[in-house]
Amino acid sequence: MKTPLRQPIRVMLVDDHTMVRRGLATFLKVFDDLQLAGEAESGEDAIRLCADVLPDVILMDMVLPAMDGATATRLIRQQFPQVQIIALTSFKEGALIKQALEAGAIGYLLKDISAEELVQAIRAAHAGRATLSPEAAQALVQNASQPPTPGLDLTEREREILALMVEGLNNIQIAGRLTVSPATVKSHVSNILSKLGVSSRTEAATIALRNHIVP
């Protein structure tokens, strides 16, 4: 009895550079168990194409025009959870890696990896196993060891009020600018000071400027 032939892993390419996609498409042809399912040059195109071709694995660039790769990854994984996505990019910043993995990417690789490493990562992703480049793993460790950036938990309204505090406005002036009550502003200011871990408006303004929390 003959062993049934295994279906090739269908790979979709998402990159805004034509030459990168062309090189990856040529690479896929070398391996009998890999097959090009489609190509997209933007996050929006990737989502539309994914619905049409339903690939097994997507190689996703992280820096794309309009919609970035992390956003596209998250939306695709929400709609098509069976599709595995590998971030394939030139950037190794810890924050970008964290965004990609939180969005649902199963791997994060740099574009300078070897063909053999890439094909192994595609096969691993298809089997549900994660792959991180050594540089990405190191960046994640370094990112995790750094204290969190102040102000990440501020709401949009709190950021707006903080920006006015940086301008030197008092609660009554802020209330007038935003057409809310001074009591509401006072409550927001109290939350801002608490979240930033400071006791004065001056300290809050200093931290806001130093950490680029507000423009």
Mean pLDDT on 51-63: 96
| Same structural domain, 17 and 119 | yes
Alpha helices (H) along 59-110: 69-79, 94-103
Mean pLDDT of the chain: 90
| Same structural domain, 87 and 141 | yes
Q: Evaluate whether residue 150 is within a structural domain.
A: no
Q: Evaluate whether residue 2 is within a structural domain.
A: no
Q: Is the pTM value of this prediction over 0.95?
A: no
Burial class (CB in 10 A: 0-12, 13-18, 19+), 65: exposed
Which domain-ending residue is among 121, 145, 169?
Answer: 145
Domain extent at residue 200: 156-210
How confident is the model at residue 51, as a pLDDT?
Answer: 95
- CATH code, 176: 1.10.10.10
Confidence band for 144, pLDDT divided at 50, 70 and 90: low
| Same structural domain, 13 and 118 | yes
| Same structural domain, 205 and 170 | yes
- As for how many domains the chain has, the answer is 2
Q: Evaluate whether residue 64 is within a structural domain.
A: yes
Task: Specify the residue for token string 């090739």.
Answer: 8
Distance CA 189, CA 41 (A): 44
Q: How many CA atoms lie within 13 A of 147 on its CB side?
A: 4
How confident is the model at residue 49, as a pLDDT?
Answer: 97
| Same structural domain, 43 and 119 | yes
How confident is the model at residue 92, as a pLDDT?
Answer: 82
How confident is the model at residue 191, as a pLDDT?
Answer: 92
| Same structural domain, 117 and 192 | no
Confidence band for 151, pLDDT divided at 50, 70 and 90: confident
